[in-house]
Amino acid sequence: MYSIQALWTAAQRKLPLTVVVINNAGYGAMRSFSQVMQVRNVPGLELPGIDFVQVAQGLGCDAVRVRKSSELAPALKRGLAHDGVSLVEVMVDSAVPVLYAQKG
């Protein structure tokens, strides 16, 4: 969500670009960082229900969603073969392990 609007610019310029969005329904890295820092109730880390395929299509891009690992290779092949901008949304579990550790 930091710069999704760049898809529109890329589509307008007809760039040969494939974007992969790892969708964990939130800011997983920030969620993990807040756990390490022991900060509770951080607003805006959960982002359920965003349909990146529809967002990308609305911005003029080809887009596909991947729900199973077996779908990933064909989706990437499709994206890379597309003449223009494509997006591959990869759905992953929203449970995030601790990515950062505090040094003791």
Q: Which residue has the higher pLDDT, 101 or 47?
A: 47
Residue 10 banded pLDDT, cuts 50, 70, 90:
very high
pLDDT of 104 > 60? The answer is no
- Which among 56, 50, 3 has a CA at the least distance from the CA of 23? 50
Domains in the chain (CATH in brackets) are 6-91 (3.40.50.970)
Mean pLDDT (the chain, rounded): 87
Token pair, residue 56, equals 């990308």
User: In DSSP terms, which residues pair with 63 in a beta bridge?
Assistant: 87
Residue 94: per-residue pLDDT: 75
Token pair, residue 35, equals 């756990």
Using CA atoms, how far apart are residues 94 and 84, in angstroms rounded to an integer?
30
Residue 23, amino acid: N
pLDDT tens profile 38-80: 777 877 777 788 999 999 999 999 999 999 999 999 999 999 9
